Amino acid sequence: MAATVQIVEKNGAGGTATDKTGGTVRFKNADNSTVDLANPMVKPTSGSDWSFQKWLRLYIAGGTFTQISNVRAYTDGSSGMGAGINLWGKAVAAYATPIEETASAGYANLFTYTSAAPLSLGAGPFTGTGEKGDHLVMACEVTAAASGGLTPSETLTIAWDEI
């Protein structure tokens, strides 16, 4: 039997975790994991509108395995969100209360991470249960060049090696 693994989104000062395995992460102007249309990002007349950060992390809930290693995140390498919308990402070791970003300093374009060149979230090896590896911290930026309206979904893959 394999490890039972979840991807959790963490919100708030204490890092309340919500299972997002196979689910949706909504970028918006609020620090919560609710997938709704409240607190939408708005196309600005100039500059950028930034989302609150989204903090994701691997959580091993159980199963029969020896170790997990090489935790990584990647996209298909192509943004389908349209011009003027940017998705930024980085790996962070220690959790901090999500903030509403104001710039991309310290981040990289999330779509530069592909299966051939993923973002490392920890080499491991990781054993036992609980949260493992680094946090994937993401932020969305909507610029004045965006067309507006709801954007299409994008797929993020978080993968690992397991023995």
Domain count, the chain: 1
pLDDT at 32: 98
Q: Is 147 exposed, middle or buried (0-12, 13-18, 19+ CB in 10 A)?
A: exposed
pLDDT at 1: 66
pLDDT in tens, the chain (163 residues): 699 999 999 999 999 999 999 999 999 999 999 999 999 999 999 999 999 999 999 999 999 999 999 999 999 999 999 999 999 999 999 999 999 999 999 999 999 999 999 999 999 999 999 999 999 999 999 999 998 777 788 999 999 999 9
Domain span holding position 12: 3-162
Place of tokens 């993401």: 138
Task: Yes or no: say if 95 and 148 are a contact pair by the CB < 8 Å rule.
Answer: no
pLDDT at 128: 96
Spatial separation of the C-alpha atoms in residues 25 and 100, rounded to whole Å:
16
Q: Helix (H, G, I), strand (E, B), or coil: what is residue 112?
A: helix
